[in-house]
Amino acid sequence: MFARDIGVLYRDQKERAEQLEEALASLKTTYLETIRSLAFVVEAKDAYTGQHLERCRAYGVVLMEALGVAADHPDAEYGFLLHDAGKVGVPERILSKPGPLTAAEWRVMRTHPVIGYQMLENIPFMTTAAEIVRCHHEMFDGSGYPEGLRADEIPLPARAFSVVDAFDAMTTDRPYRRAMPAEQAAAELARMAGSQFDPAVVEVFLPLIERLPVVSP
């Protein structure tokens, strides 16, 4: 009798756990899709660059796993997608200006990481995502913006983002130049390790290049 009760109880609990897991998975999918939509709205306002955001997300997740920190930052992928969300606060005449920006226009452009950070900082479970957005133009040697952070002062997920973002930018066609072959882009990353990029992150990323996920158009 007792054993049978335990058996029933176990089955009930197992079923409930499975239902919870399903609910959580569908919530996660909904969350990701909502964030994708928001990111694509911003991208549409800026220069639409194909699947750049989605590749940044996919490559970034692979890199975070290889760095062994993916589980610590489950919201990093949201940050990868939303890195430029703050551009909603930058006038279109600056975003899509054909020629070089004036010093005053650059000052406006350089506010976008902080605007994006402010959009996310109070959303629960978005701490890492917000940090990525705030720090996505920081450079390893301290020459980036908005704060000129250097090395470990820049959160690791943001250092990882810089590498995948640059790699994808180099290996895809842009209106003003042709895509670079992957080997050449890898050489560029290696060349800028220590200045723009964290050398330790570049070292982990380079062997991953051959097995990056293919993002369908």
The nearer residue to Fe ion, 84 or 168, going by C-beta atoms, is 84
Q: Can you read off the two tokens belonging to residue 117? A: 């950070």
CB of 84 to Fe ion, least distance (A): 4
CB of 165 to Fe ion, least distance (A): 8
Positions that interact with Fe ion (CB under 5 A): 84
Contact residues for 36 (Cβ-Cβ < 8 A; gap 6+): 53, 54, 81
If you write DSSP's letter for every residue of 159-200 in order, what string do you get?
A: HHHHHHHHHHHHTS-BTTBPPPPHHHHHHHHHHTBTTTB-HH
Q: Which residue is nearest to Fe ion (CB)?
A: 84
The nearer residue to Fe ion, 16 or 105, going by C-beta atoms, is 105
The nearer residue to Fe ion, 77 or 84, going by C-beta atoms, is 84
The nearer residue to Fe ion, 110 or 150, going by C-beta atoms, is 110
CB of 57 to Fe ion, least distance (A): 15
The nearer residue to Fe ion, 12 or 46, going by C-beta atoms, is 46
Q: Residue 17 CB: number of other CB atoms within 10 A?
A: 10
C-alpha distance from residue 171 to each of 2, 66, 79, 104, 110 (Å): 64, 21, 21, 31, 25
CB of 179 to Fe ion, least distance (A): 20
Nearest to 216 by CA among 38, 51, 37: 51
